[in-house]
């Protein structure tokens, strides 16, 4: 799954007074990983501090930053998203493989259809998500376990810099 596809998770719905489903408004996310994670923290996590690209989706409160690591070589998307842990659990494209705690916060580790591992850390009002792609042809991550291990390592390394609120 591409980083941009990751941003389009789930939207909560409720019924209007006339019985039709209406989408809940997306929560306001004020944290952007490209701007708000200190460069020193990114370097400590062994990621190139120059983001290769940004994905800002204000209408859905999703802000992502795609980084590259050179040792080992891989790409990682770090996204502040308006989805909750429960939204992610209910997404048919996501398979939870582990629940853990990172930086004192609840996190779920899971696989997305299409070959990526995501570590979603619960930070109100949404999640801070760390996603790494894997494939048989990848020079570094040929299995889901390898990608999930690395995504968890990066999230853990950046945990001291997590905001109190997204």
pLDDT per residue, tens digit, the chain (166 aa), is 444 344 444 344 444 455 555 566 778 899 999 999 999 999 999 898 776 688 887 677 899 999 988 877 889 999 999 999 999 999 999 999 999 999 999 999 999 888 999 999 999 999 999 999 888 777 788 889 999 999 999 999 999 999 999 9
Q: Tell me, yes or no, whether 141 lies in a domain.
A: yes
Residues 59, 109, 22, CA angle at the centre, nearest 5°?
A: 30
Start-to-end Cα distance in the chain: 24
Q: Tell me, yes or no, whether 13 lies in a domain.
A: no
Q: Which domain covers residue 51, as residue numbers?
A: 3-7+29-161
Residues 59, 109, 150, CA angle at the centre, nearest 5°?
A: 100
Helix, strand, or coil (residue 49): coil
* pLDDT value at residue 6: 44
* pLDDT value at residue 4: 39
Which residues have a Cβ under 8 Å from the Cβ of 12 and sit 6 or more positions away? 23, 24, 87
Which residues have a Cβ under 8 Å from the Cβ of 160 and sit 6 or more positions away? 41, 103
- The distance of Cα 54 from the centroid of its chain, to the nearest Å, equals 13
* pLDDT value at residue 12: 43
* pLDDT value at residue 90: 94
* pLDDT value at residue 113: 84
Domain of residue 132, CATH code: 3.40.1000
* pLDDT value at residue 27: 84
Q: Tell me, yes or no, whether 139 lies in a domain.
A: yes
Spatial separation of the C-alpha atoms in residues 90 and 75, rounded to whole Å: 26
Which residues have a Cβ under 8 Å from the Cβ of 118 and sit 6 or more positions away? 6, 88, 94, 109, 110, 111, 112, 129, 130, 131, 151
* pLDDT value at residue 57: 77
Q: Tell me, yes or no, whether 18 lies in a domain.
A: no
Domains of the chain: total: 1
* pLDDT value at residue 23: 62
Spatial separation of the C-alpha atoms in residues 153 and 44, rounded to whole Å: 11
Residues 32, 34, 36, CA angle at the centre, nearest 5°?
A: 55
> 30 has which bridge partners?
none
């Amino acid at each position: 799954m591409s980083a941009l596809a990751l941003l389009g998770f789930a939207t909560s719905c409720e019924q209007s007074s006339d019985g039709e489903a209406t989408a809940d408004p997306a929560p306001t996310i004020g944290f952007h990983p490209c701007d708000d994670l200190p460069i020193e923290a990114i370097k400590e996590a062994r990621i190139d501090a120059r983001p290769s690209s940004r994905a800002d989706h204000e209408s859905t409160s999703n802000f992502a930053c795609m980084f590259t690591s050179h040792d080992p070589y891989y790409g990682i998307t770090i996204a502040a998203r308006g989805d909750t842990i429960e939204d992610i659990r209910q997404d048919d494209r996501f398979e939870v493989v582990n629940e853990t705690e990172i930086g004192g916060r609840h996190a779920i580790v899971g696989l997305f259809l299409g070959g990526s591992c995501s570590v979603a850390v619960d930070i109100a009002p949404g999640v801070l998500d760390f996603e790494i792609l894997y494939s048989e042809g990848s020079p570094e991550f040929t299995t889901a376990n390898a990608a999930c291990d690395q995504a968890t390592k990066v999230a853990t390394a950046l945990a001291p810099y997590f905001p109190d609120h997204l």
